[in-house]
Amino acid sequence: MYRPLSAWINRTHPISERFYTPEFVDVPKDDWSVWLSIEEVAPLYKANEMKWLGLMDSRNETRNYLDEAAEIIDGLDGGWLDNEERVWILDELGDPPLPSLPIYLITCSDEEGEELVYIGKTENTNRFLGGHSASLKLHAPEYKNKNKKIYRGTVWFHNNDEYISLDWVQPEELAVDLLDSTESHLIYNFQPKLNTSKKKKNYAKWGFYIHIQNFLEGGFLNDAFVST
């Protein structure tokens, strides 16, 4: 799984200004490019065994990692690491945090193909929001003999200057709104059978164009595009 801070820790890109400019605030626009990166899949019955790192906790892990890194190298200003600083950070802190995977997709499949039946989001760790109600609906006779999977993904943005992980968006309230807008776009576009809200109207606040990339074997929905 790709770690959002990897480019910085591997010295291929400077760290975002947002991490050393306290007053930094993102201003999303409709022309931001958006990617949903599908990073994990499991049989649905194992959903509660997955590590559900919520958006808020992931943001805190990133902030804590960078706060400790800043102490080790005497600040983040300037963005770039030299090789010695990189070694110090990895020796003291290890690899950067993994991203949150706050968008989940539930599918059913048989010999005729794979169908997306539910889309959800989770902001909090240790909770599979909406999962239990969706699972109950999947006991309906039409789903009895189908394989059921859950995919999880993270969201990235590009604003013509940099790639921005959802875990980086400032302030936190905006990150939550962007997550909700991403979910709204997906539900309205795909009209999953088991979702009951957000299907009659697109409630997204921004008119993003979403590119779905699935890096897993089988590549369900890979290179699918969602427009307003």
Annotate the chain with DSSP letters as a single string.
---TTHHHHTTSSPPPGGGT-TT------TT-EEEEEEEEEEEGGGGGGS----HHHHHHHHHHHHHHHHHHHT--TTSPPPHHHHHHHHHHH-SPPPPP--EEEEEEEETTEEEEEEEEE--STT--TTHHHHHHHTTSGGGTTSEEEEEEEEEEEE-SS-EEEGGG-SSHHHHHHHHHHHHHHHHHHH--TT--SSSSS---SS--EEEEEE-STT-TTTTEEE--
What's residue 168's pLDDT? 94
Contact residues for 185 (Cβ-Cβ < 8 A; gap 6+): 202, 204, 208, 210, 226, 228
Task: Judge whether 9 and 82 are in contact, CB under 8 Å.
Answer: no
Distance in angstroms (rounded) separating the CA atoms of residues 186 and 103: 10
What's residue 124's pLDDT? 72
The Cα angle at residue 50 between residues 44 and 52, in degrees rounded to 5: 115
Distance in angstroms (rounded) separating the CA atoms of residues 5 and 137: 39
Q: Which residues of the chain have pLDDT under 50?
A: 129
What's residue 80's pLDDT? 94
What's residue 60's pLDDT? 92
